[in-house]
């Protein structure tokens, strides 16, 4: 089989296309014939590390956490999955050397989820990191639900920062499906059109007007939950538009590594800042996310592509380096690798 590997940290020049024997699954593992591999920022960040030439946790790593494909074999002790099942994968390469940038991959069975028959492999490869992160962000509020389903966020107003990004896109889709009024901020009209296509009720261009005033006009009592990609840049805006006991779920740090918060306004509002990283949310949160995300996908909620608000950028397996570069350079949309 063909696989993309790297043996040291660095830029995309460390990625190699190699031939490997097809591996055998061990106890609790599943072998999946990968159809589509999804690329996320975490994939290139793992590859880069904190600098070039670092020693890896494994002698050789195959990148990419997300993907979709068909179960090809199952190891001892695996239940609920069978050869031939269409599946989506998440955290395939977490604490393991075997990601999805290869023709066959070995994945822990608990990170292999049946893909509903009406859901495409493209959608399946786009679910993992973005949709599960969005799910977690939407379920951490003090006064909100721990699970998502139609009506779960009824009466709530959700602000999604950066609605044209992959996580923002999934957050818009899941929040609207769950009954929330969805407001999103974007940096330009083109991204605004994508956020609207994803299902946002209100789109605010933060570069052309007074974002706080526009959001307050939409939600006079304040927004209940913020899905935040740029906490340092947006700290003042969030303080100006959030309601009492609002939660700000931070999943990235675009725009700065340090946040400065005014204590008094946040104290008065009992504001909650919830930081999140999918790797450490815990198995209960992961299990809830995979179930709700699968249900939403089956309902047609998590579609991808230009008309759904998330343009697709496709690369062959042999061009994985270009796929990683596209994500690192901030391409708008979802990067997929056809394996």
Task: Calculate the dihedral angle through the C-alpha atoms of 253, 90, 323, 305, rounding to the nearest 10 degrees.
Answer: -90
Quick check: 330 pLDDT over 90? yes
**pLDDT for 165 beyond 90:** yes
Q: What is the pLDDT of the chain when averaged over all its residues?
A: 96
Contact (CB, 8 A) for 105 and 35: no
- Between CA 256 and CA 100, with CA 251 as vertex, the angle to 5 degrees is 115
Is the pLDDT at 6 greater than 90? The verdict is yes
Give the dihedral sign, CA 174/275/230/206: positive
Q: Kindly state the percentage of the chain with pLDDT values over 90.
A: 96
Q: Give which of 133, 87, 84, 142 is closest to 110, Cα–Cα.
A: 87
- Residue 237: band (very low, low, confident or very high) from pLDDT cuts 50, 70, 90: very high
How far, in Å, CA of 141 to CA of 204, rounded?
23
**Strand residues in 9-156 grouped as ranges (E):** 16-19, 29-39, 66-74, 86-89, 104-108, 112-114
Q: Is the pLDDT of residue 102 over 90?
A: yes
- How sure is the predictor about 167, in pLDDT bands with cuts at 50, 70 and 90? very high
* pLDDT above 90 (res 185): yes
How do residues 117-130 score in pLDDT, each as one tens digit?
999 999 999 999 99
Give the whole-angstrom CA distance, residue 72 versus residue 77: 15
The predicted structure's pLDDT at residue 98: 94
* Residue 55 pLDDT greater than 90, yes or no: no
pLDDT at residue number 255: 80
Strand bridging mode 157-161 / 223-228 = parallel
Do residues 159 and 122 touch, judged by C-beta distance below 8 A?
Answer: no
pLDDT digits (tens, 9 = 90+) for 56-86: 999 999 999 999 999 999 999 999 999 999 9
Using the predicted structure, report yes or no on whether residue 313 has a pLDDT greater than 90.
Answer: yes
The whole-number average pLDDT for the span 272-276 is: 97
Closest CA to 8 of 58, 42, 43: 58
């Amino acid at each position: 089989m063909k696989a993309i590997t790297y043996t040291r940290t660095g830029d995309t020049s460390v990625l190699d296309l190699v031939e490997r024997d097809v591996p055998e699954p061990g106890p609790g593992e599943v072998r999946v014939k990968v159809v589509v591999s999804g690329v996320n920022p975490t994939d290139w960040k793992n590859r880069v590390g904190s600098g070039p030439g670092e020693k890896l946790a494994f002698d050789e790593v195959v990148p990419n956490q997300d993907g979709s494909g068909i179960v090809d074999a199952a190891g001892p002790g695996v239940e609920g999955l069978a050869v031939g099942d269409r599946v989506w994968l998440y955290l395939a390469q977490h604490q393991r050397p075997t990601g999805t940038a290869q023709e066959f991959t070995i994945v822990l069975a608990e990170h292999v989820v049946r893909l509903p028959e009406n859901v495409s492999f493209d959608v399946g490869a786009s679910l993992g990191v973005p949709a599960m992160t969005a799910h977690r962000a939407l379920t951490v509020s003090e006064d909100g639900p721990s699970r998502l389903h139609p009506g779960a966020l009824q009466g709530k107003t959700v602000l999604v920062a950066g609605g044209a990004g992959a996580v923002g896109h999934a957050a818009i889709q899941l929040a609207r499906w769950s009954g929330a009024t969805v407001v999103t901020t974007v940096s330009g009209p083109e991204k605004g059109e994508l956020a609207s296509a994803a299902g946002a009720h209100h789109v605010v261009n933060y570069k052309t007007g007074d974002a706080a005033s526009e959001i307050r006009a939409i939600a006079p009592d304040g927004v209940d939950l913020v899905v935040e990609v740029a906490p340092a840049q947006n700290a003042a805006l969030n303080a100006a538009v959030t309601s009492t006991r609002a939660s700000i779920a931070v999943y990235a740090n675009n725009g700065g590594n340090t946040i400065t918060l005014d204590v008094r306004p946040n104290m008065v509002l009992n504001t909650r800042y919830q930081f999140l990283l999918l790797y450490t949310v815990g198995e209960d949160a992961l299990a809830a996310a995979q179930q709700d995300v699968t249900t939403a996908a089956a309902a047609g909620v998590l579609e991808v592509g230009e008309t759904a608000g998330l343009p697709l950028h496709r690369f062959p397996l042999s061009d994985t380096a270009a796929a990683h570069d596209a994500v690192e350079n901030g391409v708008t949309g979802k990067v997929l690798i056809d394996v």
